[in-house]
Amino acid sequence: MTLMVVGSVAIDNIQTPSARRDDVLGGSAVHFSFGASLFGPVQMVGVVGDDWPEEHTKLLKNYGIDTAGLEIVPGGKTFRWTGKYLENMDDRETLDVQLNVLGDFQPKLPEAYRRAQYVFIGNGAPATGLEAIKQLQGADLIVADTMDLWINIARPDLAALLTKIDGLVLNDSEAKMLTDERSTISAAKKILTMGPKFVVVKKGEHGSMFVSQYEIYVVPAFPTENVVDPTGAGDSFAGGMMGYFASKGNMDAETIKTALAYGTVTASFQIEGFGADRLREISRENIDHRLEQLRASVSF
């Protein structure tokens, strides 16, 4: 099944307690695409300026990522994000955001992308996701991500987006913020009343949870010791999960649980290097090996 992502394409500056890296290829669409590319081809929709290095496009293509949907705005500047991780490597501060061409991004899907069956709306303004969804011709599964920023500044657009999607992926704290609920499960159930048929709540090193009207599945995080840079963990989780869904073409219970586990394992590799460095080094074999380790650790 064809898989498409719409999201941010960025140049990131990342600081961790022990290192700093500037001008790292990033953005929600990029991290999603590297994760999903381990499962099959991906169509990527995003926008950059003419400061965007051509070698980044070549690199994406080398990983089976279709960049026909990457718009280059002449005279524009690429979105830039600078973040700093605190000592616990979980909490982070955004030090600087320059929206640049992402600020008024109106996605225009190439003709071939409009028939995508599996679609992920990565982190970005909800209005961008709504515009992309309008151009689709009968997708089988539309899943979106969101974050605290959009819950705070774009709630009406986010509410509209929730009515157009099948699933929402978000962090535990964001689910609670969106719903004013205190427990994860109450928050997830409240989100089901806002439109989506299912919610995937990510709880960082405590794993993730899939909640629909009749099902609840939990998957623990893969116990990773070597956390180098958590940037893109959520996006690569979604990439692994959606990549697996698209490769299977169904949503039965076994597929849902396995997709959550694949998302978990993909994210566990992502955080072992800066930006997408680690995902670029690994193959589907490495992912499958770790999936078996995760499976062995939870079967009893």
Taking CB under 6 A as the rule, does residue 12 contact ligand AMP?
yes
User: What value does the CA radius of gyration of the chain take, rounded to a whole number of Å?
Assistant: 18
Q: Which member of 2, 4, 6, 8 binds ligand AMP (CB under 6 A)? A: 8
Q: Please, what is the minimum distance in Å from the beta carbon of residue 145 to ligand AMP?
A: 8
Give the interface segment with ligand AMP, choosing from 218-226, 227-235, 243-251, 284-292 (CB under 6 A): 227-235
Cα–Cα distances (Å) from 246 to 36, 87, 222, 249, in that order, read 9, 37, 23, 5
Q: Which member of 123, 146, 258, 268 binds ligand AMP (CB under 6 A)? A: 123
Q: Please, what is the minimum distance in Å from the beta carbon of residue 200 to ligand AMP?
A: 13
Taking CB under 6 A as the rule, does residue 172 contact ligand AMP?
no
Intra-chain end-to-end CA distance of the chain, in Å: 34
- Choose between 212 and 266: whose C-beta lies nearer to ligand AMP: 266
Segment 136 to 155, residues that bind ligand AMP, using CB under 6 A: 149
Question: Are 234 and 228 contacting, i.e. CB atoms less than 8 angstroms apart?
Answer: no
Q: Which member of 231, 258, 266, 268 binds ligand AMP (CB under 6 A)? A: 231
Sign for the CA dihedral angle at 127, 239, 244, 199 comes to: negative
Beta strand 198-202 pairing with 208-212:
antiparallel
Taking CB under 6 A as the rule, does residue 234 contact ligand AMP?
yes
Strand-pairing partners, residue 174, are none
Taking CB under 6 A as the rule, does residue 81 contact ligand AMP?
yes
Please provide residue 185's backbone torsions phi and psi, each rounded to the nearest 5 degrees. -70, -40
Give CA 163 to chain center in angstroms. Answer: 19
Give CA 50 to chain center in angstroms. Answer: 25
Taking CB under 6 A as the rule, does residue 174 contact ligand AMP?
no
* Chain positions contacting ligand AMP, by CB under 6 A: 8, 10, 12, 26-28, 31, 81, 123-124, 149, 231-235
